[in-house]
């Protein structure tokens, strides 16, 4: 954002003159002529004019001093950051052909502009994701009894059959509730697979062979978002955030052929731009030119069983079905599924591309070269996305660098390490034609001749760049809906909210960070350094940070040298948890500022469920409803992860929740004369005397009852459920109606 100059005194000429005139009767009551013709008024007008000029110059002094101090520290204002996200582009009513779209395609969400980051093929098909959801324990037992006789001669005993129902995995409808499906927890799917049904568009069920020919050999751009909620991040020594040895996913397409009695799938050639188990990833899948199809001649009891695709009962879908793509973890050498990893997903779709909030500017003319040292030119639009700046001087592209002091002189200097008479080859001498960009102010700085070249006098300087950023780019699901360059019949939408947009740092914020910068010089070494730096993370609304040195959350009972755990909690009511994008923002900001030898775990809190029942005696004459509500508010605030605890800064780590503290909070409420014994239960409704807290654990109040008189027994409401072991052979659930 632009710098706002503070005003020591904002009095204007007219205000100064009016104030001086008002003082005349107090100090000189004999003076009664206030007209412009009076010599005394002329002097007051002169002095008012001079005072206004002095105030103007005085107002510039602190601003210059503060900016100069920040410059001497090497500090610049953190620019506004651009939001990012993902969109899907569909050919809903266009021609039956594959259309290739380039990158940098503009798309908009109202007045907020974005551009795509990837070129991709838009295939004239639709896609629906399905998974096999296991039945409940009761339904599983009923289905086993029904199918027992039918499979009595089968090699697999009925107790090993996994009865399921086919469930569509739809895109999230609201950012407030983004569900996920796990391939590894054993409770979401019976086979550890996601099934992508490639479908012809509505009304083209009679042209399946033509559609297959059209997509043959084409590239499907598949977007995958891992689980957004309940995520974690690890910064390994000397590396960025990554997964813990997690294997890749395997993508295979149906062939319609059998190997004996087993269906055959063809593994697809894939290219991933990230780790789909941990980050938003675009996967390029090449559709084979042959052996793509469906199994059409199946036995009555084979459809949807075992390795066959899930059974579909909707004939409007099956009539448009082209092929299936199976997604699962790459099996081990012995064919088993990896058991030490997690694979949880919140969204999948085809025809996907990344987008960034930015507006492109092409060939903007800047001030001509002067030939003087340290020349600077100003871009017209800010904040600038520095990585997009391309600058040409007299038609020659110059190179952007971070520090002009590291640039070579414009006149080559002989390398003193070379023997006499030897010269440095011109190809090995670094180019002095460099510049720096201040992303916040849009200022481009050139060298002084000794460090970087000077643009020649009268040289033409032209820049192409993109600008954008700010919290306006954080838009909700479905906000991006248009593009001026899409062909007719094409639509665009963002299936997930965009993230990462931030308004940037103000001068006041930068000044407040000066003591922290002088203490740590932008390096996270001590616990205080980590806390200060994480609190400055742009683009997130951070509520609380806790630093645990020598602590590995995966091995809480072992002291881990060189390991630091950063627990972050976003602002919000109740028990807020950081999502995947929140953790990414913290990791991206912390990564260049931590010691390269440090292993950093960035996690959210591990909430432990707690149920509380409190009985109170209300003072005579007080409203029972008002007092009980006040007690509820006090107890919830006391157990809050953000404002709870004795100090009001959030419930402390490793502090046990005991009834005494809750009783004190209730007694502090006006109108409470006495408190009955407080009753506690854990998340399984088992009665407890206190709730131990360790590691990253914090209490989460699941149920709170405050009543007049004795505390209410809540244990009757608690029920524990058990999940049946996951069987091994998938069988579609029997249909109860037709």
Distance CA 71, CA 92 (A): 54
Residue 169 burial by Cβ neighbours in a 10 Å radius (0-12, 13-18, 19+): buried
Chain-centroid distance of CA 82 in Å reads: 12
At 634 the pLDDT is 94
Chain-centroid distance of CA 438 in Å reads: 25
Of 616-630, 675-689, 709-723, the range with the lowest mean pLDDT is 709-723
Nearest residue to 506 via CA among 440, 583, 437, 562: 440
Q: How many CA atoms lie within 13 A of 361 on its CB side?
A: 22
- More confident: 403 or 506: 403
Are 179 and 346 in contact by the 8 Å Cβ rule? The answer is yes
Residues 611 and 570 in one domain: no
Length of the chain: 738
Q: How many CA atoms lie within 13 A of 524 on its CB side?
A: 30
Residues 182 and 292 in one domain: yes
Residues 138 and 178 in one domain: yes
* pLDDT one-digit tens code per residue, 163-208: 889 999 999 888 877 889 999 888 899 888 999 999 999 988 888 9
DSSP-derived 3-state class of residue 97: coil
Distance CA 371, CA 348 (A): 55
* Percent of the chain surpassing pLDDT 90: 49
Confidence band, pLDDT 50/70/90 cuts, at residue 313: confident
Confidence band, pLDDT 50/70/90 cuts, at residue 342: confident
- More confident: 734 or 479: 479
Task: Please identify which residue in the block is written with the tokens 């009001």.
Answer: 648
At 26 the pLDDT is 87
If one counts the domains in the chain, the total is: 5
Mean pLDDT of 227-235: 78
Are 299 and 184 in contact by the 8 Å Cβ rule? The answer is no
What residues does 544 pair with on adjacent strands? 569
pLDDT at 97 over 50: yes
Residues 574 and 680 in one domain: no
Nearest residue to 432 via CA among 456, 449, 457, 414: 449
The last residue of one of the domains, among 542, 575, 603, is 603
At 91 the pLDDT is 93
At 572 the pLDDT is 87
pLDDT at 92 over 80: yes
Averaged pLDDT score across all residues of the chain: 85
Residues 383 and 455 in one domain: yes
- More confident: 731 or 102: 102
Of 15-29, 409-423, 478-492, 579-593, the range with the lowest mean pLDDT is 409-423
At 116 the pLDDT is 94
- Please give the span between the terminal C-alpha atoms of the chain, in angstroms, as a whole number: 64
Read off the tokens for 322.
């082209």
Residues 159 and 303 in one domain: yes
The answer to whether residue 472 sits within a structural domain is no
At 152 the pLDDT is 54
- What separation in angstroms does the CA of 390 have from each of 70, 174, 501? 27, 39, 23
Element (H, E) at 534: helix 527-535
Residues 564 and 422 in one domain: no
Q: How many helices (H) and strands (E) does the chain have?
A: 11, 35
Are 343 and 277 in contact by the 8 Å Cβ rule? The answer is yes
- Report the relative pairing of strands 434-438 and 396-400 from DSSP bridges: parallel
Residue 662 burial by Cβ neighbours in a 10 Å radius (0-12, 13-18, 19+): buried
Residues 540 and 433 in one domain: no
Mean pLDDT of 576-590: 89
At 428 the pLDDT is 67
* Order of all β-strands in the sheet with 181-182: 181-182, 344-350, 219-226, 281-286, 270-272
Residues 406 and 291 in one domain: no
- Domain of 450, in residue numbers: 362-467
Q: Which one of 139-148, 324-333, 725-734 scores highest in mean pLDDT?
A: 324-333
* pLDDT one-digit tens code per residue, 651-671: 999 999 999 999 999 999 999
Q: What is the DSSP string of 596-657?
A: TT-EEEEE--EEEEEEEEEEEEEPTTS-HHHHHHHHHHHHHHHT-TTT-TTTTSSPPTTPPB
pLDDT at 235 over 60: yes
Chain-centroid distance of CA 101 in Å reads: 26
Nearest residue to 614 via CA among 574, 657, 674: 674
Are 31 and 39 in contact by the 8 Å Cβ rule? The answer is no
Strand segments, DSSP code E, in 477-525 are 490-493
The answer to whether residue 513 sits within a structural domain is no
DSSP-derived 3-state class of residue 70: helix
pLDDT at 650 over 80: yes
The last residue of one of the domains, among 350, 371, 405, is 350
Q: Which one of 16-25, 125-134, 381-390, 722-731 scores highest in mean pLDDT?
A: 125-134
Name 303's Cβ contacts closer than 8 Å, sequence gap at least 6. 311, 732
Of 296-305, 315-324, 510-519, 522-531, the range with the lowest mean pLDDT is 510-519
The answer to whether residue 738 sits within a structural domain is no
- Report the relative pairing of strands 161-168 and 729-732 from DSSP bridges: parallel
The answer to whether residue 88 sits within a structural domain is no
Geometric angle at alpha carbon 722, from 721 and 728, rounded to 5°: 145
At 58 the pLDDT is 63
Mean pLDDT of 117-132: 94
The answer to whether residue 683 sits within a structural domain is yes
Confidence band, pLDDT 50/70/90 cuts, at residue 8: low
Read off the tokens for 309.
């695709």
- Classify each residue of 436-448 as buried b or exposed e, where b means 16 or more C-beta atoms within 10 Å of its C-beta: bbbbbbbbbbbbb
Read off the tokens for 649.
């800064």
Name 313's Cβ contacts closer than 8 Å, sequence gap at least 6. 166, 735
pLDDT at 6 over 60: no
Name 601's Cβ contacts closer than 8 Å, sequence gap at least 6. 232, 233, 234, 235, 552, 553, 554, 563, 564, 565, 566
The last residue of one of the domains, among 603, 632, 663, is 603
What residues does 131 pair with on adjacent strands? 167
* pLDDT one-digit tens code per residue, 128-152: 999 999 988 778 777 777 666 555 5
pLDDT at 245 over 50: no
Confidence band, pLDDT 50/70/90 cuts, at residue 368: very high
The answer to whether residue 658 sits within a structural domain is yes
Read off the tokens for 692.
């131990």
- Alpha helix segments (H runs only) across 5-120: 13-27, 39-72
Q: At what angle do helices 13-27 and 39-72 cross, to 10 degrees?
A: 130
* Percent of the chain surpassing pLDDT 70: 87
CB atoms within 10 A of CB 606: 17
Residues 591 and 613 in one domain: no
Q: Name the phi and psi angles at 283, rounded to 5.
A: -115, 125
Output the furthest CA–CA distance in the chain (Å, rounded): 123
The answer to whether residue 735 sits within a structural domain is no
Residues 219 and 300 in one domain: yes
Nearest residue to 689 via CA among 679, 699, 698: 679
The answer to whether residue 386 sits within a structural domain is yes
Confidence band, pLDDT 50/70/90 cuts, at residue 425: low
* pLDDT one-digit tens code per residue, 447-498: 999 999 999 999 999 999 988 888 888 899 999 999 999 999 999 999 999 9
Residue 191 burial by Cβ neighbours in a 10 Å radius (0-12, 13-18, 19+): buried
Residues 66 and 192 in one domain: no
Task: Please identify which residue in the block is written with the tokens 């005139």.
Answer: 21
At 714 the pLDDT is 87
Mean pLDDT of 35-58: 86
Read off the tokens for 312.
């579909």
Mean pLDDT of 87-97: 93
């Amino acid at each position: 954002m632009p710098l706002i100059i503070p005003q020591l005194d904002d009095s204007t000429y007219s205000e100064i003159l009016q104030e001086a005139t008002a003082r005349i009767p107090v100090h000189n009551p004999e003076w009664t002529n206030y007209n412009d013709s009076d010599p005394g008024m002329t002097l007051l007008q002169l002095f008012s004019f001079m005072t206004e000029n002095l105030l103007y110059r005085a107002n510039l002094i602190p601003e210059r001093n503060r900016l100069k101090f920040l410059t001497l520290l090497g500090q610049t204002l953190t620019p506004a950051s651009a939001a990012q996200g993902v969109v899907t582009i569909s050919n809903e009513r266009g021609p039956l052909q594959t259309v290739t779209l380039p990158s940098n395609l503009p798309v908009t969400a109202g007045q907020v502009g974005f551009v795509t980051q990837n070129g991709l093929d838009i295939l004239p098909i639709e896609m629906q994701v399905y998974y096999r959801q296991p039945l409940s324990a009761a339904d599983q037992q009923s289905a086993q009894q029904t199918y027992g006789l039918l499979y009595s001669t089968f090699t697999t005993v009925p107790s090993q059959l996994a009865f399921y129902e086919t469930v569509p995995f739809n895109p999230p409808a609201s950012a407030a509730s983004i569900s996920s499906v796990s391939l590894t927890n054993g409770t979401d799917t019976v086979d550890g697979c996601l099934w992508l049904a490639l479908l012809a568009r509505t009304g083209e069920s009679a042209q399946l062979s033509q559609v297959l020919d059209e997509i043959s050999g084409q590239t499907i751009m598949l977007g995958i978002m891992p689980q957004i909620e309940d995520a974690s991040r690890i910064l390994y020594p000397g590396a960025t955030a990554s997964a813990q040895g997690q294997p890749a996913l395997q993508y295979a397409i149906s062939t319609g052929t059998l190997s004996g009695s087993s269906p055959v799938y063809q593994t697809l050639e894939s290219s991933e731009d990230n780790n789909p188990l941990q980050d938003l990833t675009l996967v390029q899948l090449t559709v084979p030119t042959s052996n793509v199809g469906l199994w059409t001649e199946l036995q009555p009891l084979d459809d949807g069983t075992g390795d066959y695709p899930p059974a579909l009962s909707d004939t409007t879908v099956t009539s448009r079905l082209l092929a299936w793509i199976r997604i699962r973890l790459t099996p081990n050498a012995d064919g088993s599924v990896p058991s030490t990893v997690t694979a949880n997903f919140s969204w999948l779709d085809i025809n996907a591309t990344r987008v960034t909030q930015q507006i492109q500017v092409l060939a903007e003319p800047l001030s001509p070269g002067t030939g003087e040292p340290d020349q600077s030119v100003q871009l017209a639009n800010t904040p600038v996305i520095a990585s997009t700046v391309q600058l040409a001087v007299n038609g020659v592209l110059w190179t952007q660098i971070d520090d002009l002091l590291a640039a070579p002189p414009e006149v080559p200097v002989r390398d003193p390490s070379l023997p006499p008479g030897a010269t440095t080859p011109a190809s090995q001498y670094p180019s002095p034609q460099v510049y720096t960009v201040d992303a916040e102010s849009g200022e481009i700085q050139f060298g002084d001749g000794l460090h970087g070249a000077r643009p020649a006098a009268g040289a033409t300087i032209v820049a192409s760049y993109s600008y954008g950023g700010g919290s306006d780019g954080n838009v909700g699901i479905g906000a991006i809906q248009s593009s001026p360059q899409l062909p007719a019949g094409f639509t665009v939408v963002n299936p997930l909210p965009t993230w990462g947009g931030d308004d940037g740092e103000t001068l006041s914020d930068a000044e407040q960070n000066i003591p922290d910068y002088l203490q740590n010089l932008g390096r996270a070494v001590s616990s205080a350094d980590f806390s200060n730096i994480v609190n400055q993370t742009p683009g997130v609304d951070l509520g609380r940070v806790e630093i645990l040195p020598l602590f590995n959350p995966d091995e809480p009972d072992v002291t881990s040298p060189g390991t630091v755990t950063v627990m972050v909690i976003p602002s919000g009511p109740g028990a807020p948890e950081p999502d995947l994008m929140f953790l990414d923002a913290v990791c991206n900001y912390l990564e260049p500022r931590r010691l390269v030898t440090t292993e950093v775990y960035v996690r959210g809190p591990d909430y432990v469920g707690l149920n509380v029942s409190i009985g109170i005696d209300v003072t005579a004459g007080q409203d029972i409803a008002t007092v009980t509500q006040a007690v509820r508010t006090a107890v919830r605030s006391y157990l809050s992860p953000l404002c709870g605890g004795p100090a009001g800064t959030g419930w402390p780590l490793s502090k046990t929740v005991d009834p005494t503290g809750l009783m004190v909070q209730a007694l502090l409420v006006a109108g409470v004369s006495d408190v009955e014994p407080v009753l506690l239960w854990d998340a399984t409704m088992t009665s407890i005397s206190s709730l131990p807290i360790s590691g990253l654990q914090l209490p989460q109040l699941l149920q709170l009852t405050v009543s007049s008189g004795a505390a209410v027994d809540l244990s009757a409401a608690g029920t524990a459920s058990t999940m049946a072991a996951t069987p091994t052979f998938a069988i579609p659930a029997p249909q109860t109606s037709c």
